[in-house]
Chain A
Amino acid sequence: MNILVCIKQVPDMEASFVPNRGGTWFDETALSFRMNDYDEFAIEAAVRIKEQLGGTPEVTALSIGPGRVVEVIRKAMAMGCDRGVHLRDEEAASLDPWQIASMISGYASTGGFDLIFTGMQSVDRGSAQVGVLVAERLAIACVTTAVGFSYMAGRATVERELEGGAKVVVSCALPLLVTCQLGLNTPRYPTLPGILRAKKKEIVELSPGQAGMEKPLTRVSGFSHHVSRPSGVVLEGRLDELAGRVAAVLREKRDAIRRGGVR
């Protein structure tokens, strides 16, 4: 069995974002990067099947981006993926979901993958498109927003999350692409032996052209702070002093609620 996991490197969301020169995305200079939260669940799901099947499946971790994304590929390999594919593009941040999907499906169409896992979305773009687009382009089945996954004898059973925390349980034959939601499993931490092993594993580098990148279908003309100004009061300063002020506000609000006052 061949398994592919698609992962993305994203900045820490606590960072303060500054638009790049073209005003289309953030400037990367001062940012620190890590693996997209959702993708950790995707890697864990893939590695668990490998373990369940006694190590026979080969798990490939693929990432698109500039040189830095090798860090997340190494992390995926430290978590148990066997090999890496780096679709190297220094300008990957300017690509749209269609282009990203064209490259992943271009690569995957040559690999004969039985199972593909992606995060349901990335925390920075949040488009939730790439996984489904890849599956449609490969003409394979796709189940999105997985919060439960099990595999047995050529079929997968997936719990798909719906609104309000409800779920629908579905079953599907492979080949299949699954987009992974937060909480699907408990992603493991890379161990030291795992990290050392990862250093020896192979990462194949491909260019966008080799992966069959297509033209964009969208154009970005603006990137700015969503909240330009806080709606309320901002308190900063010495913590003991702040604590006194905030306690007074809390007491007042709580007492008003107890009196049945206006909310």
Chain B
Amino acid sequence: MKVLLVAEYRQGRLAESTSELLGFADALGGDVSMALVGSPDQLPGFDGRLHFADAGIYGEYDSELHKRLLLQAVEAETPDLIVFMHSSYGWDLAPRISAALGVALLSGVAGMDGDGFTTRCCNGKMRRTVTAMTSPAVLTLLPGAFPSVQPEGVSPELHPMAASGVPVVEFIRYEPPSTGGIDLTRSDVIVCAGRGVGSREKVGLVRALADALGGEVGATRPVVDAGWLEHGRQIGSTGQSVSPGLYVACGVSGAIQHLAGMKGSGFVIALNTDRDAPIVEVADLLVVADLEEFLPLLTAKLGS
């Protein structure tokens, strides 16, 4: 089995997830090579062939240029698998490689199952086993699904990649995340409001519980998108990553992108009407209850 891993680099940094790509390759075994449009000052610790292009020359990510560069690495390696992370880079670029080669793409791979791979579906509630019917095949890996492997004291053997052409998409600027000064990372107790809270008005029930516990209010993305709470309270892969001692998830289904931001929490209590919600995967205690009725009772008991 020949595996070509595609590492990521942005804004001066090689992505930490490179170690997960290596972890996947380790779990699979076989001949491993890598491709990277990055910086010569930040090469991955890896002792194989690295197909490399300097981001200093190619500029910020342009899907068309990166596609052309990567296709060279694919041609040179003739891999069985071309592996990305399921990240803003991976889900943008992997389908382009799949389309260019006319080969299968399996997104969000979380494990292996026979000659196939498992992926999550239905908001993380269910899983599927999917097998590629082409070779090569392209994969994107679910962040956090494979262990990190960081070989030390090794360096890659560089093979240059080159491509020409003008970017199709013009880069204008980066914008850093804005949290409006809210820092949840220091809170010991977080009570998180999910869409199951039901309305902006009922977020007050969550706040009352947070107050009773002396904690902060957090939110899932839909709650922020709906404007029920400030963006700075969003927890997850595109919000803050928190690890409080106590995390109370109110009406939170537990989507992968939310779990990514709270997995490090100590004791997790989930309040949910759905006893199969994926949040049970990380909950120490699941209370099957309707929030509207249950939260006032709970907050009252804490007060007494």
Q: Note all chain B residues with C-beta closer than 8 A to A162.
A: 10, 88, 174
B-facing residues in A186-244 (Cβ within 8 Å) = 216-227, 230-236, 239-240, 242-244
- CB-CB contacts below 8 Å: B152-193 with A: 168-179, 188-189
Q: Which of B95, B214, B287 contacts A242 (CB 8 A)?
A: B287
Q: Is B211 an interface residue (CB 8 A)?
A: no
Q: Say how far B117's CB is from chain A's closest CB, in angstroms.
A: 10
Q: How far is the CB of A75 from chain B (nearest CB, A)?
A: 19
Q: Is the CB of A246 within 8 A of B133?
A: no
Cβ-defined contact, A218 with B96, below 8 A: no
A127 B108 Cβ-Cβ under 8 A: yes
B49 at the interface (CB under 8 A from A): no
A250 to B215, CA, bound (A): 12
| CB atoms of B221 and A182 under 8 A apart | yes
Residues of A contacting B31 with CB < 8 Å? none
Q: Is B246 an interface residue (CB 8 A)?
A: yes
A183-B224, A226-B127 given; A164·B108 CB < 8 A: no
B98 contacts partner chain A, Cβ-Cβ < 8 Å: yes
Which A residues lie within 8 Å of B297 (CB)? 239-240, 243
List the one stretch of B18-26, B32-40, B200-208, B267-275 in contact with chain A.
B267-275
- The 0/1 profile, CB within 8 Å of B marked 1, for residues 120-138 of chain A is 1101111111001100110
Residues of B within 8 A of A220 (CB): 128-131
Residues of B contacting A11 in the complex (Cβ-Cβ under 8 angstroms) = 122
- Secondary structure type dominating chain B contacts: mixed
Q: Do A166 and B170 touch across chains, with their CB atoms under 8 A apart?
A: no
- Say whether A165 contacts B107, CB under 8 Å: no
- A125-B121, A161-B238, A247-B301 given; A254·B275 CB < 8 A: no
Known contacts: A136-B96, A220-B130. The answer to whether A227 contacts B122 by CB under 8 A is no
* CB-defined contacts of B302 to chain A, threshold 8 Å: 247, 250-251
The residues of B that contact A227 with a CB separation of less than 8 Å are 125, 276, 278, 280-281
Residues of A close to B98: CB separation below 8 A: 98, 129, 133
Q: Is the CB of A129 within 8 A of B95?
A: yes
| Given A126-B107, A218-B130, A232-B283: A13 in contact with B123 (beta carbons within 8 A) | yes
Of A46-54, A58-66, A78-86, A140-148, the segment with at least 4 beta carbons within 8 Å of chain B is: A140-148
Q: Give the interface segment out of A1-9, A109-117, A167-175.
A: A167-175
Taken together as a complex, chains A and B put the C-alpha atoms of A171 and B281 apart, in Å, by: 41
Closest to A247 in B: B301
Given contacts A133-B98, A144-B92, contact A159 B175 (CB under 8 A): yes
Given A165-B234, A250-B213, answer yes or no on A222-B113 (Cβ-Cβ < 8 Å): yes
Give the residue of B91, B132, B170 whose beta carbon is less than 8 angstroms from that of A170. B170
B215's nearest neighbour on chain A, judged by CB, is A254
Q: How far is the CA of A4 from the CA of B120 in the complex (A)?
A: 29
What is the bound-complex CA distance between A163 and B240, given in angstroms? Answer: 10
Interface presence of A33 (CB below 8 A): no
Q: CB of A16 within 8 A of chain B?
A: yes
Tell me if B57 counts as interface (CB < 8 A to partner A). Answer: no
The interface residues of chain B lying within 8 Å CB-to-CB of A124 are 121-123
Q: Contact: A218 with B124, CB < 8 Å? A: no
| In the complex, chain B residues whose CB is within 8 Å of the CB of A169 | 172-175
**B171 contacts A168, C-beta separation under 8 Å:** yes
Q: Tell me if B126 counts as interface (CB < 8 A to partner A).
A: yes
Given A231-B283, A263-B266, check contact A144 B91 (CB 8 Å).
yes
CB within 8 Å of A: which B217-253 residues: 221-222, 224-225, 231, 234, 237-239, 243, 245-246, 248, 253
Q: Are A232 and B122 interface neighbours, CB within 8 A?
A: no
Contact B245 A136 (CB under 8 A): no
Which residues in B have their C-beta under 8 angstroms from that of A133? 95, 98-99
Distance in angstroms between the alpha carbons of A141 and B65 in the assembled complex: 12
Q: List 17 A-B contacts (CB under 8 A).
A: A24-B128, A133-B95, A136-B95, A145-B92, A165-B239, A168-B175, A182-B225, A221-B129, A226-B127, A227-B278, A232-B284, A232-B286, A236-B287, A236-B288, A239-B293, A253-B246, A263-B243
Chain B residues near A (Cβ < 8 Å) = 10, 60-61, 63-64, 86-88, 91-92, 94-96, 98-100, 102-108, 113-114, 116, 118-134, 168-179, 188-189, 213-215, 221-222, 224-225, 231, 234, 237-239, 243, 245-246, 248, 253, 266-269, 273-278, 280-289, 293-294, 297-298, 300-302
